[in-house]
Structure 1
Amino acid sequence: MLAIIKKELKSYFLSPIGWIYIGMFLTFCSLFFFTDIFRYKSSAFSDLFGITVSVLSVLIPILTMRTFAEERKNKTDQILLTAPISVKEIVLGKFIGASIVVIISALSTFVYYFILMYFGKPEFITTLNVLIGYILLSLVYISIGLFCSSLTENQIIAAVISVGVLTAFGTLPKIIIALKDYSPLDAFFNSFYNGISSLKDYVLLISYILMFLMFTMISIQRRKNIK
């Protein structure tokens, strides 16, 4: 699995896709920071992640669209599927690779935290709690993106499907009123943002991750069986 992780990290940082994601993420963060937080001299660093969540449903699909779709198109997936490595290791390797890119991007925003210390004392515990929630939500989005990428050999289609699924998670609760116990994914992040996260929030987010990773494994295993 380590070989898969290394391969994924190389593909992200030796090609434009990883840098495009990081560049878009940091550009958006910088725009919000200097137009809102810095301008009004607010020390609420957690607001940065609060607004960034709104673009995750577009940024994450850009990062994950190539994970399986590109290999399927180039037929390099046949090498993986016939190699002495399990489908679980393949999926987890790609998941961890994408997660590392996202986590590096999130942690890099801490430079703004130190800038805000000039204006006041941003609460570290609150910031850490929001950061954990943001990363967990990002990992859920990555797992969904991987699953969508495993369904097609076209990266653009994979990205569009991912955006559609992630958008649906946010809009379905407003449409299907009958699902009273259903909450959009960003509702779980709001619990972290408002400082009221509970064990239930962690369990549900991790459950989403495991569920979509399992769906991805099933999708890849079916292709392997066909081979």
Structure 2
Amino acid sequence: MKLKSTTWKGRNRTRLFELRDAALSLGFRHPTIADIGAGGITFFLSGLHPEGPKEEMVRSQKVQRFLIRFADDIIRKFGLYGSLTVHEIREIKEALACLSPSEIVVVDKDPRLLRAIRDVGITQRLRLDICVSRLPEPKDIVICYNVIQVTEDPNRALENLLDSVADGGLLSLETNGSSIEVSDRRYKRLRPCLYRKIS
């Protein structure tokens, strides 16, 4: 099985800061947090990939990013990658530490990714396919970057994702320029990639 999502250091920095600022302004304290489909990068390529959001990269970094992602995709397609590095979890812990989360759970259907986060200090790992079911318990903050649009059934995955957020909770969702939109009336859009469940 090919891991579909490549996530490098700092890729979602802007989204996480928007989420943090919104949560602070809304008075979130000790929230439960779920990160769905964290993505990863082949361990030995991780240090070669440019850091930061792709829209902030200069041309040479974009070329480097393309080549590293191409190599990463080939290596993982044939199962030759050895181990994965998952930057997203560390960045979530750092960006949202000021909220004093009561729980952070990492959700993914791929056991390789769940194994890769053992050294990050996250004890809550849940193997679940968001296309098949929602989270067993809704969370106050749900993060889902660059996952929904690459699932087998994006509409079903989005429906399950929206049902995984607690009332009053926040959803930070990035679909990488796809046509997927949150039109559910239970949600209010706060920023281009940030929503609040209002009922």
TM range (shorter): 0.3 to 0.5
Which has the bigger relative contact order, CA under 8 A and spacing at least 6?
A: 1
The TM-score normalised by the length of structure 1 is: 0.31
The TM-score normalised by the length of structure 2 is: 0.34
Choose between structure 1 and 2: higher strand proportion: 2
Choose between structure 1 and 2: higher helix proportion: 1
Query: Which entry has the higher C-alpha Rg, 1 or 2?
Result: 1
